[in-house]
Structure 1
């Protein structure tokens, strides 16, 4: 606590401290993500029906004790397909941004630190990749290699590299000339040490916040591709394909489209809320007086 002596009285001045609280929305969103993740990982331990088990006598059955969310047009348990579809969405939604953050983040840090021709080459190549229509790219790769979970993850991961590169480069440019980097360089630290020990820990937090936002975007993109028939091949369930199948039963059983759509909406919203909260916490401007 600092004091100001004005000749009459001594006034105590306390430093301004801003408490950054996560808030109830953050914990609700994190709880939903945890619930979906645990339910999909341990699906085999608590689900009584398989996602591919058909019973034509129970087509479009309403929710009940045997089928908690009812059945679809082929008599398959809607809850089982919803939970196993969460596996597909989470695997692609997490693994694809991992490719982007690994390759794009690494290139962005190197480009922002070394600058010069290397930066021009990296930024130019990312601009070329951004200029290529993503849907056309996905169609071309899918037509050549076929539809699979692995190929779809790689496609979305490559498409996410430019965004992560730009975030990492922008963060590195703002840190490359800071005092701790200049001091490390003056003490004779190598480029590798500066990159790993000085820049990477500070760039990682903004990348982590952007990673969570990337997960939300990837889940939406995967759902859109599956809705168009370009995602994981049937009969493997995914939220996008379930919405596509449910549109044929909108007049008879609208829940077949609304339940997976609502689940996707809540999951994407949760990742967005968590990502926005972490981004606000890691933004240096938030700590300015």
Structure 2
């Protein structure tokens, strides 16, 4: 019996150690890069940078220098300033759009997984219809009707993210809805609202937050793709996607104009993916199954 207790204690003590080993150097490098990107985007106004919209036609495609660390673009605008200010747009859209999906999709998924029945069929069916609608056509339609703006772009991407969040929340709720703590709350006479808010929501939020980080990475790429196609934010506002689109015209003369924002986007998306995958693995209930 003592040996069994010692074995259980040892296995419990190994859980934090195993989780610590999972947070390898790549995870912390991703965290450092994310902090750096957020810091320069937030404090761009106080950094010693030239205006990202000031043009100097005599300095078109100027190389790296002490005055322009990353050179200038085809209109003589400072490339470093444009990359940093472009990070603001990419991060604003990349964070706000998944928040829309998380709020509405998460709420619908929890309600559908808990109440089941006809309500679940209606929610799942409507999400399937939304998934079946071509996202590019939806973006074109909304942009043509409402015009190009950060708000409209965020709304489009947030709407397209609702079905994915609904599926994640519903799957987690279906797993938790018949657990002992939920059954005990029902036996004690707890209302549906109390069970949803006090018992299910805190547990469902863990996988939803992990998926949220992955959705941020996907949204940044989607925003970049739409901006590359001319459906993103209107000029003179720049994002990484629009910078890549403008840089393609100078690939032969100055390929760095496309590669620098592409590298910034790649590292940011990779960082969100690494952190999201790690947190998803840590919050996966199957990982802790005995």
- Structure 1 243/120 Cα, relative in aligned 2: closer, same or farther at 3 Å? same
Per the TM alignment, residue 57 of structure 1 is displaced from its structure 2 partner at its CA by 0.9
Per the TM alignment, residue 137 of structure 1 is displaced from its structure 2 partner at its CA by 0.4
- Structure 1 14/107 Cα, relative in aligned 2: closer, same or farther at 3 Å? closer
Q: 1:155, 1:46 → 2: CA distance?
A: 32
Q: Secondary structure at the match of 1:127?
A: helix
- Partner residue, 1:8: none
> Following superposition of structure 1 onto structure 2, how do residues 227-246 of structure 1 map, counting pairs within 5 Å?
227-246=228-247
- Structure 1 70/12 Cα, relative in aligned 2: closer, same or farther at 3 Å? closer
Q: Does 1:3 align with 2:2?
A: yes
Cα deviations across residues 179-226 of structure 1 (Å, max 9, x unaligned)?
000000000100000000000000000000000000000000000000
> Following superposition of structure 1 onto structure 2, how do residues 1-289 of structure 1 map, counting pairs within 5 Å?
2-4=1-3, 12-15=6-9, 16=11, 17-18=14-15, 19=17, 20-21=19-20, 22-289=23-290
Per the TM alignment, residue 243 of structure 1 is displaced from its structure 2 partner at its CA by 0.5
Q: 1:151, 1:281 → 2: CA distance?
A: 35
Q: Give the structure with the larger helix fraction.
A: 2
Cα deviations across residues 80-124 of structure 1 (Å, max 9, x unaligned)?
000110000000000000000000000000000000110001000
TM (normalized to structure 1)? 0.96
CA contact (8 A) 1:47 1:80 kept: no
Q: 1:222, 1:154 → 2: CA distance?
A: 11
Per the TM alignment, residue 263 of structure 1 is displaced from its structure 2 partner at its CA by 0.5
* Number of equivalenced pairs: 283
TM (normalized to structure 2)? 0.95
| Bigger Rg, structure 1 or 2 | 1
Q: Secondary structure at the match of 1:72?
A: coil
Cα deviations across residues 22-78 of structure 1 (Å, max 9, x unaligned)?
221111101111101110111011132011011111110111110010000100000
- Structure 1 128/257 Cα, relative in aligned 2: closer, same or farther at 3 Å? same
CA RMSD of aligned residues (A): 1.2
Which residues of structure 1 form unaligned runs of 5+?
6-10
Per the TM alignment, residue 288 of structure 1 is displaced from its structure 2 partner at its CA by 2.2
Q: Secondary structure at the match of 2:2?
A: strand
